[in-house]
Amino acid sequence: MKKPLICAVIASLVFAPTFAVAQQHRGSGYLAPARGPVVKRPAPNYRAWRQGERFDPRHAQNYQVIDYRRYRGLRAPPPGYRYVRSGNDAVLVGIASGLVSAVIAGAIR
């Protein structure tokens, strides 16, 4: 019983290097599988604001606090409110609450 086992171990040690074949690497090696064209989508950083929504400056395009006197059609904001720019729109936002009170579309050119 020991003799066939010992012969198998010796044979595997002798013939193992002949069965081992080095892999050939060509180029960069790994190639990713083709999955079709890659479409890059722009980050959705602009949104249309509506009255009653909470204003988040991270989602406003060209966000900045604006002075109402520089733009035609904007009246003085009530106390506790200010105008901010989101794209070409002027948005009247409550300072403490952050709620949108009014949206003047196309006020900024």
Residues 6+ apart with CB under 8 A from 76: 68
Phi, psi at 101, each rounded to 5°: -95, -35
Q: Which two tokens stand for residue 27?
A: 């180029």
pLDDT tens for 44-85 read: 556 788 999 999 888 888 889 999 999 888 999 999 999 999
pLDDT tens for 21-51 read: 555 555 555 566 666 666 665 555 567 889 9
What is the pTM for the complete model shown? 0.57
pLDDT tens for 83-109 read: 999 888 999 999 999 999 999 988 887
